[in-house]
């Protein structure tokens, strides 16, 4: 990595595009209804849209080919700035958390719901049955207790859906 790359890395890692839009993006407002944790949609005036993604490290304009990192975003907002001026602007925002996006960040924790009564009446699987090795690998004592889908600590037991979501998120 070159010296210049090492100098620029704190800006790329430490400055969120959401912070740039909140502080120097004149008129850009977060569209809470159409934003998610992974894609923050900002609007300015009638029809101007920017999407901030990659945890604030990337952005793109769905109505043009404009996209990039925080350097490109500042340049997009203020086309007359040179590279030295861009760094001066970004220096103020290293480590600053976005103000308006914190409402979008809390994780939704699943509620613990008991299984349908039909499932509580069925016998538990035994280690020597076809399902036994699979269930044993999951650790049945920590997953589903008889009469409920909750772990002993009160949290919701993992489901196949939970595993799929974790795998999809990487």
SS (H, E, C) 50-117: EEEEHHHCEEECCCCCCEECHHHHHHHHCCCCCHHHHHHHHHCCCCCCCCCCHHHCCCCCCCCCCCCH
Residue 28, both tokens: 């850009």
Q: How far apart are CA 25 and CA 76, in angstroms?
A: 10
In this prediction the pTM is 0.57
Q: Identify which has the larger pLDDT, 4 or 48.
A: 48
CA distance 157 to 145: 9
The CA-atom distances, in angstroms, between 71 and each of 9, 54, 120 are: 11, 15, 58
In 3D space, the residue among 75, 154, 69 whose CA is nearest the CA of residue 110 turns out to be 154
**pLDDT value for 64:** 93
Q: Residues of the chain with pLDDT > 90: what percent?
A: 29
115-139 pLDDT, tens digit each: 667 777 777 666 666 665 655 555 5
- Write down the mean pLDDT value for the chain: 74
pLDDT at 12: 86
Q: Coil, strand, or helix at residue 42?
A: strand
pLDDT in tens, 134-155: 555 555 444 444 444 444 444 4
Interval 9-31 mean pLDDT: 88
Select the more confidently predicted residue: 80 or 166. 80
Q: Give 143 or 60, the one with higher predicted confidence.
A: 60
Q: Summarize the confidence of residues 49-57 as an average pLDDT.
A: 90
Share of the chain above pLDDT 70, in %: 59
pLDDT at 68 (0 to 100) = 94
Q: At the topology level of CATH, where does 3-104 sit?
A: DNA Primase; Chain A (3.90.580)
| pLDDT given at position 32 | 86
Domain ranges in the chain with CATH number 3.90.580.10: 3-104
Q: Which residue has the tokens 């010296």?
A: 3
């Amino acid at each position: 990595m070159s010296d210049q790359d090492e100098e620029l890395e704190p800006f790329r890692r430490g400055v969120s595009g959401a912070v740039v839009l909140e502080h120097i993006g004149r008129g850009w407002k977060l569209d809470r209804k159409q934003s998610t944790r992974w894609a923050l949609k900002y609007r300015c005036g009638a029809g101007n849209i920017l999407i901030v993604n990659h945890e604030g490290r990337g952005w793109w304009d769905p109505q043009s080919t404009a996209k990039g990192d925080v350097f490109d975003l500042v340049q997009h907002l203020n086309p007359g700035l040179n590279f030295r001026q861009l760094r001066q602007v970004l220096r103020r925002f290293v480590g600053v958390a976005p103000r308006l996006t914190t409402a979008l960040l809390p994780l939704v924790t699943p509620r613990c719901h008991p299984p349908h009564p039909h499932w509580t009446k069925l016998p538990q699987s035994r280690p020597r049955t076809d399902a036994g090795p699979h269930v044993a690998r999951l650790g049945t004592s920590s997953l589903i207790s008889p009469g409920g889908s909750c772990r002993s600590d009160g949290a919701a037991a993992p489901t196949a859906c939970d595993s799929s979501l974790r795998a999809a998120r990487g």
